[in-house]
């Protein structure tokens, strides 16, 4: 331990009241965040334990894990579908904005994307029920008739169009702005020198993007996708409104039997929940919390692995 060293800096600090204030404020803020996070975790665990160890009502399932599994599946499946649709589209839009569109159009598109991010999720939910579901429903019937041999499209098709595919499309549109905006920032930061190196070798614009822009932006694309994934996993209102769920575990995209998601299920059932049901719902929340933590850890690991030094 160094006992003598701190004396000098402390003497210097007393001369600068602003430093003391700032240090106090930032330390308090940091500690508060830790307390809040710890408090939430503790609350989840304490409230979840009765449901996890104890018996749950028979009509809900054999035990907590059997009950929470379909919800977990639905959460992951819908988020995955949303990412499969949103990430390529977001990357393509960001590339278009940064490398193809004339400046005026690029600016306009940028505003439009930011505007999408500002729409409340209830509106997305309404849009999903009122517009998207009826719009896609005939398409689902067609898919069931013509591609029904594929497990993803096995009939019968939903009569309302409120399927997991519709919900995932809504989710995809919701996460699109975050991913696009971040990718755009990253693509804009591609070193000019690397872009010119590619062009001077006789690369076309697309080849230049493959040689310089995408390698430079790779970890950024992953990071922004994970942020989007976090939002898709936790999205509540839109899914709760759009999805007609029945608690099954099924990969079928267009059927009337759809898995629910953890967040939507909590939102739908919490108002009437009492007794052990409350504990079950909170337990499912704990599962969601764990999934989100895992996803974040995974993304950090991926970013650390794919970041190459010298990405000047």
Partner 1 sequence: MSKRIEINDLDIYYGAFKAVEGVSIDIEPRAVTAFIGPSGCGKSTVLRSLNRMHEVIAGAYVDGEVLLDGANLYGPGVDPVNVRRQIGMVFQRPNPFPTMTIRENVLAGVLLNNRRMSRSDQDDLVERSLRGANLWNEVKDRLGVPGSGLSGGQQQRLCIARAIAVSPDVLLMDEPCSALDPISTLAIEDLIEELKTEYTIVIVTHNMQQASRVSDKTAFFNIAGTGKPGKLIEFDETAKIFSNPSVQSTEDYVSGRFG
Among 9, 17, 271, 310, binds partner 1 (CB under 8 A): 310
Q: In this chain, which stretch among 158-166, 178-186, 198-206, 287-295 interacts with partner 1, using CB under 8 A? A: 198-206
Among 33, 92, 207, 305, binds partner 1 (CB under 8 A): 207
Q: Are 236 and 121 in contact (CB under 8 A)?
A: yes
Shortest Å, Cβ 104 to partner 1: 12
For 155, phi then psi, to 5°, come to -70, 165
Q: For the segment 81-110, give every residue that binds partner 1 (CB under 8 A).
A: 103
The answer to whether residue 8 forms part of the interface with partner 1 (CB under 8 A) is no
The answer to whether residue 194 forms part of the interface with partner 1 (CB under 8 A) is yes
- CA–centroid distance for 233 within its chain: 5
Name the residue nearer to partner 1 (CB basis): 39 or 191: 191
| HSE-up of residue 92 (Cα within 13 Å, Cβ side) | 5
Among 41, 152, 211, 303, binds partner 1 (CB under 8 A): 211
The answer to whether residue 58 forms part of the interface with partner 1 (CB under 8 A) is no
Count of positions (residues) in the chain: 312
Shortest Å, Cβ 303 to partner 1: 14
The answer to whether residue 32 forms part of the interface with partner 1 (CB under 8 A) is no
According to DSSP H, which parts of the chain are helical?
Answer: 7-13, 17-53, 64-95, 103-118, 121-127, 133-146, 164-188, 192-200, 205-208, 214-234, 237-242, 262-269, 276-306
Name the residue nearer to partner 1 (CB basis): 114 or 196: 196
Q: Where does residue 116 fall: left (phi above 0), alpha (psi -120 to 50 degrees), or beta otherwise?
A: alpha
| HSE-up of residue 20 (Cα within 13 Å, Cβ side) | 9
**What is the token pair recorded at 18?**
């602003």
Identify the CA nearest to 243 among candidates 160, 310, 180, 187.
160
Size of the site for partner 1 (CB under 8 A): 24
Shortest Å, Cβ 300 to partner 1: 20
Residues that bind partner 1 (CB under 8 A): 103, 191, 193-194, 196-204, 207, 211-212, 215-216, 218, 308-312
């Amino acid at each position: 331990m160094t006992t003598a060293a701190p004396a000098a800096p402390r003497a210097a600090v007393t001369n600068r009241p602003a430093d003391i204030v700032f240090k106090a404020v930032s330390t308090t803020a940091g500690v508060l965040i830790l307390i809040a996070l710890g408090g939430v975790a503790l609350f989840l665990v304490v409230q979840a334990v009765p449901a996890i160890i104890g018996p749950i009502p028979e009509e809900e399932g054999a035990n907590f894990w059997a009950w929470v599994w379909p919800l977990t599946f639905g959460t992951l499946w819908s988020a995955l579908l949303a990412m499969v649709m949103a990430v390529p589209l977001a990357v393509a839009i960001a590339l278009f904005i940064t490398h193809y569109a004339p400046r005026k159009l690029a600016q306009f598109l940028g505003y439009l994307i930011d505007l999408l991010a500002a729409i409340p999720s209830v509106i997305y939910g309404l849009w999903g029920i009122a517009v998207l579901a009826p719009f896609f429903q005939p398409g689902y019937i067609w898919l069931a008739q013509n591609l029904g041999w594929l497990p993803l499209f096995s009939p019968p098709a939903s009569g309302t169009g409120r399927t997991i595919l519709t919900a995932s499309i809504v989710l995809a549109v919701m996460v699109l702005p975050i991913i696009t905006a971040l990718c755009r920032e990253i693509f804009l930061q591609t070193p000019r020198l690397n872009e010119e190196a590619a062009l001077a070798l006789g690369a076309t614009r697309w080849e230049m993007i493959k040689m310089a822009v995408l390698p430079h932006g790779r970890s950024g694309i992953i990071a922004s996708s994970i942020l989007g994934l976090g939002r898709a996993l936790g999205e509540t209102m839109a899914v709760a409104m759009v999805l007609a769920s029945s608690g099954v575990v099924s990969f079928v995209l267009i059927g009337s039997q759809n898995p629910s998601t953890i967040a939507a299920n909590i939102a739908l059932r919490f108002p009437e929940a009492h007794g052990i049901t409350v504990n079950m719902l909170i337990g499912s929340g704990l599962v969601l919390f764990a999934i989100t933590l895992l996803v974040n850890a995974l993304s950090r690991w991926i970013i650390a692995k794919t970041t190459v030094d010298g990405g000047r």
